[in-house]
A and B are shown apart, each in its own frame.
Chain A
Amino acid sequence: MSGTPAVTLQIDGQGLQVAAGTTVLRAAEQMGIVIPRYCYHPAFEPEGSCRMCLVEIEGLPKLDLACSTVVREGMKVWTSTPKVLQARKDVLEFFLADHPLDCPICDKAGECWLQNYYDQHGRYASRFLEFKEKKGKKVPIGKKLILDRERCILCTRCVRFLRRVTKTGELGVFERGVKAEIGIDGGADIRNNYSGNLVDICPVGAITDGDFRFKTRVWFLKNGRSVCPRCSRGCNIVIQSVRGYPLPGRQRKIYRFLPAENPEVNGFWICDFGRYGYHDIEDNRATAIAVNRGGPAAGRGADWDGILKGLAAELGAMAGAGAMSRVAVVLNSFLTNEELAACRKIFVEALGIQKIFFADPKPGEGDGSLLTADRAPNGRGAAALGYTARVPDLEGLAGSTDLLIIFGPHLMDHSAADAAAAALGGVKKKYLFTAHVSGLDSAVDVVLPTSLPAEKRGSFTNVDGIKQFFECAVAPLRGSLPESEILARLAAGLGVTLG
């Protein structure tokens, strides 16, 4: 509020001070009073069309919009007088009169603002005796999105999102009156990288996501907050998953990513590339320790403890023999700051390994908005910890390296698969810690399954240098270990204190 003059007003008899220019709706929110709304979204200018947020302002003959009315000195606002409550009830009655009420087969059920507000503000007996308007119920509007025009309440959030946020304008309103409906404006359907946000901002079940449709009911979903790992933006996300009921046994399933609001990083949105990255948590996972070709690990039994103790012993022995120049470690920028710091302590400071490399996915294209070209989340964190992200020269490693410890599946992204496999053949022992199966697996001696960022806690430093901590958002895949745990056990085996 510094710099902006303050305005004093009363809401429901309680005085408060807010910055000049604040709307009644926002001022009420500061007091913890939530005025119901459909068309209003904090990302856009007030639209004023749903008429749900009408409140009583003393001295005015009619109810006025909370979303667009700016506070004035001495204003007295009442948010739940009989007149206001009746107006809300009436708006709900209007909406629901022409609504198909197909909640039992609607994906939005459970998080639908028609349901929520009917419960809070409706509760009238229906007097609708007429026929309902028939409209398209599964209209594809681009990418994975399906539009149900009967459920639509014409809040136009989708239209405004596409005009003001992506500036692509694929949707518009057609026809008028009760026949008015959302449609594709100008021929080309939705193709932008932010389409999934339309599903989130649709307050009802009008826009649903083909990826999520009919997969589950939202009340089974558990929320976990995390940071999207698919580029260096570090968008805040909510990961929605189910563990156990209604899935059999203790099965785990990830259903979707939703954006979590963070004005400093991603605002209200996430990109589709990141959103549909939730499949990464389930697809192509390395699920168990795999020992190839009867290498040295095979003799020790394929369990985490045995392998990590063995690896620590090998490293210890090589350190004792002064052979650290024959050890190489390949890290990646999906590791958290904490893991990268532990790597530094163990591999650089304690063991004195010089050959530290990075293998990340090849850069993609940024979209000029949230998605950056860098396809890993923590490059900036790695740099801040003093690492230089150099890709190893595999031919150079062959012959000069006896032990290669690889984190992540991206080593072969940077060279031809055959040549890389041949080069790795020249390295005696190779350990691969990876969450995903890849062509690299067959070229190493042991593959050890790790957890993904969604399954662990730590921090990433994003493209703008903002360090973001996150907790474990979903239960780790059974059999996998987070790198932090792997590094802690290695450190223990080596007698290194991580602190």
Chain B
Amino acid sequence: MTDAKATLIPPGENSFRLGAYLGRGGYEAARTTILTKKPQDVLEEVKKANLRGRGGAGFPAGSKWAFVPQADDRPKYLCVNADEGEPGTFKDRAIMARDPHLLLEGIILACYAVGIRTAFIYIRGEYEAIARRLEEAIEEARQKGFLGPDIFGSAFALDVLVHRGAGSYICGEETALLESLEGKRGWPRLKPPFPASVGLFRGPTVINNVETIANLPLIFRYGADWFVGRGLPRDGGTRLFGVSGAVKKPGLYELPVGTPLRKIIYDWAGGPAEGQAIKAVVPGGLSAPFLTPDEIDVPMDYESLAHIKSMLGSAGIIVIGDRTPIIDILKIVARFYAHESCGQCTPCRIGTAWISKIADRMGAGGGVPGDIDSIRHLAEGMKGRTLCPMGDAAAFPVLSIVDKFGQELAEMISR
């Protein structure tokens, strides 16, 4: 199974061009599927592949699609979440820049399975050049009859639109994304109702991450069994692990789901940066609880990380070296969430800012003995109590820092 074509990030300078994609067997899976399979069979195949969401929560894609009511005459929508804002995460941009047609073919397959005629790619505002590249790719596909009416000569029709966000982390939260796409302030919605029943413009809506959708053509090109075989039985395929921070070879590595974190850091990213030892590792984007060096033998899949009370999340790995004081990390983490809190619900709006103020004060040498308890208390006050998952996203890393590195913080305060 070492087919060079079976990758999310193809090599080559012109890999993004339609010709290059067709050369890799592009759009064949979509053509065959639409002309020979029923939508229900497509859904079953995806369920069989155990494709779990690549955005962070890891929800099985097939089950998510199955929530969309079929006997419903409202227009249905697919929203591809390309608002890649999780610190430490830079995988979706690579897929879209290097292989936009892979994403488009995935969109065709997903929409065919769920009966969707309009798909949006909600891309973060900073990815301006990539948004342009996507639009060019959409135009190329439309010219070839892969998008638009009567795709591949079938009765299936699909339009794909690119929408650029305006630079807010919270718009990567799926319901805030919908609000933003509707032209409103990007505030998360109260759930229920869930987007599958009341989503974009009040229609049933599927929201999937770029990497999730980009895996679909591979599943249909090589089969669900092949896909499961590439990863783990309950968590199929590969992941794009983005490694950043204090390593020798930071970068994006496509490896099977379940690859041990230590192997990724040492065998692929070259190990810790010169003259440093690992102090802490964020395994799945900044919202994932921090790991200590003795926890990095964990296999990188959802369940193994949940077992040690962290998260695979977006698989963005941040390695922190021992030259970095933990207070600097706490300050940066706290400041990020305080800056990105949308302000809608109380615990997150006030809690993130409060923690950030304490961390800044501690960093400036004004720490007092009660500070660590206060931070823990405030983070507990956000955890599980906010309107959207951002309260957890802000609380988890902070709690893991005070729990695992509290000693260093306490020493700093007493100095």
Instruction: Give the B-binding residues of A (Cβ under 8 A).
Output: 46-52, 54, 61-63, 65, 68, 87, 90-91, 93-95, 97-98, 127-131, 133, 153-154, 172-173, 175-180
Residue of B nearest to A98 (CB): B350
Asked if A93 and B381 sit within 8 Å, CB to CB, the answer is yes
| Closest chain B residue, CB of each to CB of A69 | B192
Inside 8 A of B352's CB, which chain A residues have their CB?
177-178
Known A51-B347, A176-B341: A127·B387 in contact at CB below 8 Å: no
Q: In the complex, are the beta carbons of A177 and B339 less than 8 A apart?
A: yes
Known: A48-B190, A87-B385, A172-B185. A178 touches B350 (CB 8 A): yes
Taking A48-B387, A94-B347, A98-B350 as contacts, is the C-beta distance between A177 and B361 under 8 angstroms?
A: no
Q: Which residues of A contact B40 (CB under 8 A)?
A: none
| Cβ contacts under 8 Å, B341 to chain A | 176-178
B358 at interface by CB-CB < 8 Å: yes
Q: Chain A contacts of B343 at CB under 8 A?
A: 154, 173, 175-180
B350-378 residues with Cβ-Cβ distance < 8 A to A are 350-354, 357-358, 361, 368, 370, 374, 377
Which residues of chain A are within 8 angstroms of B168 by Cβ–Cβ distance?
A: 176
Enumerate chain B residues within 8 angstroms of A130, measured Cβ to Cβ: 354, 357-358, 361
Interface pair A177/B358, CB less than 8 Å apart: no
- Given A54-B385, A90-B385: A176 in contact with B354 (beta carbons within 8 A): no
- Whether A97 lies near B350 (C-beta < 8 A) is yes
Q: Which of B349, B354, B374, B381 contacts A180 (CB 8 A)?
A: B349
Tell me if B344 counts as interface (CB < 8 A to partner A): yes
- Which of A47, A51, A97 counts the most B-chain CB atoms under 10 A from its CB? A51
A481-B302 Cα distance, complex, nearest whole Å = 81
**Given contacts A130-B361, A176-B168, A177-B341, is CB(A91)–CB(B387) below 8 Å?**
no
Structural contact, B370 and A51, CB atoms closer than 8 A: no
- Check B338–A90 contact: CB distance below 8 A: no
Residues of B within 8 A of A93 (CB): 381
B contacts with A, residue count (CB < 8 A): 34
Contact, CB under 8 Å: B385 / A63? yes
The answer to whether A49 touches B346, judged by C-beta atoms less than 8 angstroms apart, is yes
Q: Which of B168, B338, B345, B384 has the most CB of A within 10 A?
A: B345
Q: How far is the CA of A176 from the CA of B336 in the complex (A)?
A: 13
Given contacts A62-B384, A127-B370, A129-B368, contact A94 B357 (CB under 8 A): no
What would 23 A/B residue contacts be, using CB atoms closer than 8 Å? A47-B190, A49-B344, A50-B346, A51-B386, A51-B387, A61-B384, A62-B384, A65-B190, A90-B347, A90-B377, A90-B385, A94-B381, A97-B350, A130-B361, A154-B344, A154-B346, A154-B349, A172-B185, A176-B168, A177-B343, A177-B352, A178-B349, A178-B352
Q: Give the residues in chain B near A90, CB-CB below 8 Å.
A: 347, 377, 380-381, 385
Residue in chain A with minimal CB distance to B374: A127
Q: Which residues of A contact B361 (CB under 8 A)?
A: 129-130
Q: Which residues in chain B, 300-348, are within 8 Å of chain A measured between CB atoms?
A: 338-347
Contact of A51 with B385 in the complex, beta carbons under 8 Å = yes
A51 with B346, Cβ < 8 A, contacts A46-B190, A129-B368 known: yes
Report A-chain residues with C-beta under 8 Å of the C-beta of B346.
Answer: 49-52, 91, 94-95, 153-154
A residues near B354, Cβ cutoff 8 Å: 94, 97, 128, 130
Residues of B within 8 A of A (CB): 168, 170, 185, 187, 190, 338-347, 349-354, 357-358, 361, 368, 370, 374, 377, 380-381, 384-387
Interchain CA distance A127-B352 in the complex, whole Å = 15
Identify the 4 closest CB pairs spanning chains A and B, nearest first. A180-B343, A178-B353, A90-B381, A130-B357
What residue in chain B is nearest A89 (Cβ atoms)? B381
Structural contact, B384 and A63, CB atoms closer than 8 A: yes
- The residues of A that contact B349 with a CB separation of less than 8 Å are 94, 154, 177-178, 180
Q: Which residues of chain B are near A91, meaning CB under 8 Å?
A: 346-347, 381, 385
CB proximity of A159 to chain B, nearest CB, Å: 10
10 additional A-B pairs beyond A48-B345, A93-B381, beta carbons within 8 Å, are A49-B345, A54-B385, A68-B190, A90-B385, A154-B344, A176-B168, A176-B341, A177-B338, A178-B349, A179-B343
Q: Quick one: closest B residue to A132, CB to CB?
A: B357
Complexed CA–CA distance, A418 and B160 (Å): 76
Q: How close is B167's CB to chain A, nearest CB, in angstroms?
A: 11
Contact A177 B387 (CB under 8 A): no
Pick from A61, A154, A175 the residue with the most CB of B within 10 Å: A154
Residue in chain A with minimal CB distance to B357: A130
Q: Enumerate chain A residues within 8 angstroms of B187, measured Cβ to Cβ.
A: 173
The winner among A128, A130, A176 for most chain B CB atoms within 10 A is A176
Complex Cα spacing A128 to B370, Å: 11
* Cβ–Cβ < 8 Å partners of A153 in chain B: 346
Which of A62, A68, A129 is the most central at the interface, judged by chain B CB atoms within 10 Å of its CB? A129
Q: How far is the CB of A454 from chain B (nearest CB, A)?
A: 40
